[in-house]
Each structure stands twice: as C-alpha cells, then as structure tokens.
Structure 1
Amino acid sequence: MTPAELAAVQAHLRRLLGNDKIKLTTPQRKNASVELFVGSEFVGTVHRDMEDGEVSYAIQIVVLAEDLSQIN
C-alpha cells in the first residue's frame, strides 16, 4: 500500500468509526500486511486487493478471548 493509500484509508476509518485514535502502520517486513491500531493497541490488519481493475481494502480484526473477560 502506498503512503497516500495508507493515509486515505486511515482518514476514512477515522471518519467512519468516529475515532481519531485509529492508526495504520507499515510493517517492517516487505509485503507484510498493514497493521491497524487503536491507540497503542494492535487490533488487526488491512489488506489491499485488486480485482478486475477495482481496488478494495479488507480489514481483519483480532479479538482475543482474554480481552473478553475484561468486559464482565
């Protein structure tokens, strides 16, 4: 993902989800997935896909079982 795409997707997610703490970061490894953070907490990855000339971005969010116990 280019820096311009990264900034555009990040801005869109912030507006869509109403959270300015959303941050996308480029991983150290080449061709690895972009990392999605809310504040300092890693929550998932963003993947770029191109099919039939159309570009889309898919988000995979990770929820750990140990984090669920903190709700109760």
Structure 2
Amino acid sequence: MNATEIAKLQTYLQKLFSNDALEVKARVNLTDSVEVFLKGEHIGLIYKDEDEGETSYDFQMAILDFDLE
C-alpha cells in the first residue's frame, strides 16, 4: 500500500473508533498489508484485496484468551 492509502486508513480508523491514538504503519518489504497500533502496541493487520475491479481492506486482530480475564 502506498502512503496515501495508509493515511486514509488511519484517518478512517481514528474517526470510526473516536481514537487518535490509532496508527497505521507500513510493513517492511510487504506491500499487501499494514500494521495497526494503539498507543504504540501492535493490535492487528489490515490486508488489501483487489478483486474484479473492487478494492477492500480486511482488518485482522487476534485476541488471546488470557487477555479476556
């Protein structure tokens, strides 16, 4: 993903969750996905999918069982 897409994703997530502490950053040597951070802590990945002329973004976040306690 390019810098423009990354900035748009970050702005979207910050507005959606009303949280300016969310950051979206490029991954080293990978262009199909970006990392999502909250207050400096990695919370997930966003993957870009292009199919039949349409582009979508898939946010993936793992939640560990001990985090729920």
Same fold (TM over 0.5): yes
- 1:42 CA drift (Å): 1.0
Which residue is equivalent to 2:11? Answer: 11
Aligned length: 69
Which is worse superposed, 46-55 or 24-33?
24-33
Amino acid of the residue matched to residue 42 of structure 1? H
CA distance in 1, matches of 2:30, 2:43: 20
Instruction: Please give the secondary structure, in 1, of the residue aligned with 2:29.
Output: coil
Q: TM-score, normalised by structure 1?
A: 0.85
RMSD between aligned residues: 1.3
Matches within 5 A, 1:1-40: 1-31=1-31, 33-40=33-40
State the structure with more CA Rg: 1
Contiguous gaps of at least 5 residues in structure 1: none
Contiguous gaps of at least 5 residues in structure 2: none
Q: TM-score, normalised by structure 2?
A: 0.88
Among all aligned residue pairs of Structure 1 and Structure 2, give the percentage whose two residues are the same amino acid: 33
